[in-house]
């Protein structure tokens, strides 16, 4: 019963668009974004521990958290919550501290599809195409390493 995720990175524009439906009410999906105890249970890749320094999902609030990989390597992220409208919409900035000063602006729309279903739409704008592609391709060394290990497996087979 997994809903597909659609990710679009249009050629020539520094955007990333992500869409995903959930079999849950808009209030539940919104709350899973607002409550830091819940956020730590889903945000970030599998196998990583998440530690929240700060999470104020309110207008002019902000956040800082770390993903810790199984080797103990830490990856820190921070940003501000610019707008937050309950069960509807949020705008936040996103900065990976490994690439300081490259800040994306993300809008998140929570859309009630009725029948207890919700559509989540994320639109991220990066300062440049290079920043977007860099973020996608290299912001977590772990992922690259896993990618190359898989490639090694492919080549060794």
Partner 1 sequence: MILDPSADDRLDRAFMALADPVRRGIIARLSRGPATVNELAEPFAITKQAVSKHIQVLEHAGLVTRTRDAQRRPVHLDAAQLEALTAWIDRYRLIHEQQFRSLDALLAEDRTEDAGTTTGRTREETPS
State the minimum distance, in angstroms, from the CB of residue 60 to partner 1. Answer: 25
**Of residues 78 and 118, the one with the C-beta less far from partner 1:** 118
Residues in the chain: 157
Tell how strand 117-125 and strand 15-22 pair up.
Answer: antiparallel
**Of residues 58 and 144, the one with the C-beta less far from partner 1:** 144
CB 107 within 8 Å of CB 123? yes
State the minimum distance, in angstroms, from the CB of residue 20 to partner 1. Answer: 5
**Of residues 4 and 100, the one with the C-beta less far from partner 1:** 4
Place of tokens 């539940």: 28
State the minimum distance, in angstroms, from the CB of residue 129 to partner 1. Answer: 9
**Of residues 62 and 134, the one with the C-beta less far from partner 1:** 134
Question: What sign for the dihedral angle of Cα 88, 9, 127, 147?
Answer: positive
Burial class, 16, CB count within 10 angstroms (exposed 0-12 / middle 13-18 / buried 19+): buried
| Angle ∠(37,42,43) on CA atoms, nearest 5 | 95
State the minimum distance, in angstroms, from the CB of residue 116 to partner 1. Answer: 8
User: How far apart (Å, rounded) are the C-alpha atoms in residues 4 and 45?
Assistant: 17
Query: Tokens at residue 22, please?
Result: 């959930």
Under DSSP, the state recorded for 64 is E
**Of residues 31 and 83, the one with the C-beta less far from partner 1:** 31
The footprint of partner 1 (CB under 8 A) covers 1-3, 5-11, 18, 20, 22-24, 28-29, 31-32, 37-38, 40-46, 116, 120, 133, 136-137, 140, 143-144, 146-148, 150-151, 154-157
């Amino acid at each position: 019963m997994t809903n597909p995720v659609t990710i679009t990175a249009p050629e020539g524009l520094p955007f990333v668009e992500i869409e995903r439906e959930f079999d849950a009410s808009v209030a539940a999906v919104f709350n899973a974004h607002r409550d830091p105890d819940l956020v730590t249970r889903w945000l970030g890749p599998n196998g990583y521990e998440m530690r929240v320094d700060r999470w104020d999902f309110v207008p002019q609030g902000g956040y800082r958290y770390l993903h810790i990989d199984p080797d103990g390597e830490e990856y820190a992220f921070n940003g501000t919550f610019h707008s937050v409208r309950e069960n509807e919409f949020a705008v936040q900035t996103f900065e990976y501290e490994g690439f300081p000063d490259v800040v994306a602006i993300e809008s998140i729309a929570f859309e009630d599809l009725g029948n207890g279903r919700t559509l989540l739409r994320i639109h991220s704008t990066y300062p440049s195409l290079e920043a977007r592609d860099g973020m996608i391709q290299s912001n977590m060394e772990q992922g690259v390493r896993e990618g190359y290990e898989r490639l090694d497996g492919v080549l060794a087979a």
